[in-house]
Amino acid sequence: MEIFRSAGFDVDIIGQEKPKHCLKRWRKTYTTLGETGLLEEQRGKGSTGRPLGEGLSTAEKLKRAEARIKLLEAGNDLLKKLEKQKMQRKH
């Protein structure tokens, strides 16, 4: 938790379990890949991922893109709201 707090994260917002989950993941990475595993970007390596909409109609691709845009906009709005609340608490 102290790592997250010192980095400026509000543990009440991200949740009490997130730091524990991250520490567990970091320990596993260090055990399997050593220090370089922590220093190099690992997300997506070796992952086949999900198909990127192969075989979908143009209308379905557009519908999915619009839904993704709405999701991202909602996420941005939430972050702005949380930042505003954080600033109000400081004053």
**pLDDT mean by block of 10 residues, the chain; 91 residues:** 82 85 90 86 65 74 91 92 88 72
- The confidence score (pLDDT) of residue 15 equals 86
Q: Where are the domains of the chain?
A: 1-43, 55-91
For every residue of the chain, which 3-state class applies, written as one string?
CHHHHHCCCCHHHHCCHHHHHHHHHHHHHHHHHHHHHHHCCCCCCCCCCCCCCCCCCHHHHHHHHHHHHHHHHHHHHHHHHHHHHHHHHHC
- The confidence score (pLDDT) of residue 31 equals 92
| Model confidence, pTM | 0.43
